[in-house]
Amino acid sequence: MGKISKKAQIQVKNLVKKYEGLAAVDNISFEVYEGEIFGILGPNGAGKTTTLEIIETLRKPTSGQIEVDGLDILKNAWEVKSRIGVQLQAAGFYPDLTLVELLQMFAALYKVKIDPLKILKKFQLEDKKSSFFQKLSGGQKQRFSLATTLINNPKIVFLDEPTTGLDPQGRANLWLEIKNIHKEGKTVIITTHYMEEAEKLCDRLAIMDRGKIIKIGTPHQLIDELLKTGFRREREIKKATLEDVFLNLTGRQLREE
Amino acid sequence: MKTKSPNQIGPLLAIAYYGLRAQLRNRATLFFGFVFPLMFIFAFGFFGSNGQKITIGIAQNEKTEAIYQDISKIENINIQKGNLADLKKELASGKLSAVLANGDDQGEVKLLVSQASENQSQVVQSIVSGAIAQQNLALSGLKDLPINLEVEKVAGRAFRFIDFFLPGMIGFAILATAVNNTAFGLIFLKKTLVLKRIFATPTKALTILLGQGLARVIVALAQTLVIVAAGVLVFDFTLIHGLLTLLSIILLSLIGLLAFMGFGLFIAGVATDENSVVPLTNIIVFPQFLMAGTFFPIESLPEVLRPFVNILPLAFFNAAIRKITTEGVSLDQVFPQLLGIMLWSIIAYIAASRTFKWE
């Protein structure tokens, strides 16, 4: 971390999205810097997914300006789409196609040449190459989804609640994959409602609620700010969490149901 | 400046190819697309090819014997001999169309018919009374009859039920596939977020819809070919001008498909999930399936209904395909019907474009 250049790769200015008069996203502005992992945190219905999908050019904003990698997303949707990688909150794959077929389909859509087996191997899915997507476990589905997100070698990767519904092993494994993507120099934007995930993964966070961004900062800044107000946890923090206990007892090995 | 959208041929073919693969792995597609229409054809094809069999029971004695000799020569009439009590039972249960027995008086024969089958009774009555008249004539010794009936058979193609039914079955299969498959398919792809995920790649919305459409067109054309093949191989269905007729059938099917898919697209836009698709497709498919000339000619409907039924999309299609298969005309001679189909498709696509949503 630390060596993040302060060049804004995504700029969101005064973004509003209204559905039948109700503002799902209520005039938000933020920047995401090149090479960072940026987290959007918030409870369900806060507007995280809507914000993400507007930047991904999947939905049209009601008003506001958004630039991705220097491109206005409304005028350059095609170019933006080919420079980003998108993981939707839920599946998004033909249940009756095999993993190899799905990878080949996405390669054709992005017009890139790929070696499906190499990609599957990278995400520990090589023995599932002929399985139908619907036969995969939750963790396998998310890893596969991540694999398709990287097919076009995007500069920016959007992950919408990638670890929701995974067991602790699956989550720990996916964090590792996300960190690997980050190491390759890609910018990652992730939504989550797990605080621990945000703290472990993200360089900077935006906390969102009811369509508004309440706070932006690094996890440390946000925590320090809270402590300055005199806030203290009721119980003293121990050096380990229950999750550490669980993973220590059951191991970090991936389980597939 | 807007960046130009990239070449969409590759993505279009990829969407069509993988959409087709996914569809062919789906058992519901295979069943409703292929097995279902074939089941119909076999059920009604065999039923239709025999026509209505008439079986007359004859209680044997001297008086009925002479009539038996006459009517046993008539084609398509079966005779069953036996004793009167047994035959009466079979008549009551509908296995026999009529029973011929001794009359009460001298020189009288009695024909027992069933109340339940008016049509068959009349046919049997005229056959038997004809036979009796001949007997009477022969007995009276009359020569040089004042009126003679001469029947001359004119050469012609035997029009069988399959010739009527098979084109109707193609029409139904095209309509059902275009509407159901498109509506259910798109709702399913929306729900599983497949459409959205593809939309996140540099692929135009129109390309996605066209690719999905192309996949369905291929399935539906295969369906038409299977139906025609079953007709030709099993039921001796005749393609009047051979390959030319087949080509016309395929072209017409393609036109029908593209038109009817508008209704599927419209439903996929209006419906929120699979459950709300069912009543909507039923409203569009079933009335047409029952009335618009799939099982029986529209002319046999009550006169007040006919004008309305005649302008249904499937009625136009069925009229056109029957002209092609039974009269052997080419596509340009069914222009009025094509115009009708086109008008419906314009209505459907306008409605669809107003309702279809990606989200």
Q: What is the pLDDT of residue A148?
A: 93
Q: Per residue in B127-141, pLDDT tens? A: 888 878 877 777 777
A226: Cβ contacts below 8 Å, ≥ 6 apart: none
For chain A, the structural domain boundaries read: 8-90+156-250
Task: Spell out the domain ranges in chain B.
Answer: 12-48+159-355, 52-140
Nearest to A46 by CA among A205, A168, A222: A205
Partner-chain contact B202 A82, CB within 8 Å: yes
Which of A95, A101, A109 lies at the smallest CB-CB distance from B201?
A109
- Dihedral angle sign, alpha carbons of residues B296, B300, B305, B309: positive
Across the range B26-41, mean pLDDT stands at 78
| Burial of A202 (C-beta count, 10 Å sphere; 0-12/13-18/19+) | buried
Q: What is the pLDDT of residues B242-257, one digit of tens each?
A: 888 888 889 999 999 9
What percent of chain A has a predicted confidence (pLDDT) above 70? 96
Chain B environment of A149 (Cβ under 8 Å): none
Interface membership of A76 toward B (CB under 8 Å): yes
| A 144-183: CB under 8 A from B | 148, 152
Using pLDDT thresholds of 50, 70 and 90, give the confidence band for residue B158.
Answer: low
Q: Give ipTM to 2 decimals.
A: 0.87
Amino acid A136 reads L
User: Shortest Cα distance from B354 to chain A (angstroms)?
Assistant: 17
Note the CATH architecture for domain B52-140.
3-Layer(aba) Sandwich (3.40)
Nearest CB to A93; choose among B26, B197, B202: B197
Cβ contact B17:B60 at 8 Å: no
A78 touches chain B (CB under 8 A): yes
**How far is A68 from chain B, CA to nearest CA, in Å?**
14
pTM: 0.76
Q: Is B18 in Cβ contact with A88 (below 8 Å)?
A: no
Q: Look at residue A105 in the predicted model and tell me its pLDDT.
A: 94
At a CB cut-off of 8 Å and minimum separation 6, what does B211 contact? B11, B12, B13, B14, B15, B16, B19
Lowest mean pLDDT among A204-213, B106-115, B212-221, B272-281: B106-115
The reported pLDDT for the residue numbered B284 is: 85
Of A58, A97, A101, the CB nearest to B200: A58
Q: Do B2 and A91 touch (CB under 8 A)?
A: no
> Contact A106/B201, CB-based, under 8 Å?
yes
- The helix/strand/coil state of A144 is helix
Whether residue A141 lies within 8 A of chain B, CB to CB, comes out as: no
Is the pLDDT at B197 greater than 50, yes or no?
A: yes
Chain A interface test: which of B194, B195, B199, B212 (most A C-beta within 10 Å) = B194
Are the beta carbons of A101 and B18 separated by less than 8 Å?
yes
Closest-CA distance, B197 to chain A, in angstroms, reads 5
**Which of the 8 DSSP states describes residue B32?**
I
Spell out which residues of chain B touch residue A79, defining contact as CB-CB under 8 Å.
3, 202
Closest Cα in chain A to B207 = A109
- What's the pLDDT score for residue B36? 79
For domain A8-90+156-250, give the CATH superfamily.
P-loop containing nucleotide triphosphate hydrolases (3.40.50.300)
Contact criterion met (CB < 8 Å) for A111 and B10: yes
Q: Residue B172 has which token pair?
A: 């139904």
Q: What is the DSSP letter of B327?
A: I
* Mean pLDDT of all residues in A94-105: 93
Residue of chain A whose alpha carbon sits nearest to that of B186: A94
Nearest by CB to B2, from A58, A75, A86: name it.
A75
Q: Is B157 on the interface with A (CB under 8 A)?
A: no
Q: What is the pLDDT of residue B1?
A: 43
Comparison of pLDDT for B340 and B44, the residue scoring more: B340
Cβ contact (<8 Å) for B6 and A109?
no
Q: How far apart are CA B184 and CA B172, in angstroms?
A: 17
Chain centre to alpha carbon of residue A247: 23
- Count Cβ–Cβ pairs < 8 Å, chain A vs chain B: 86
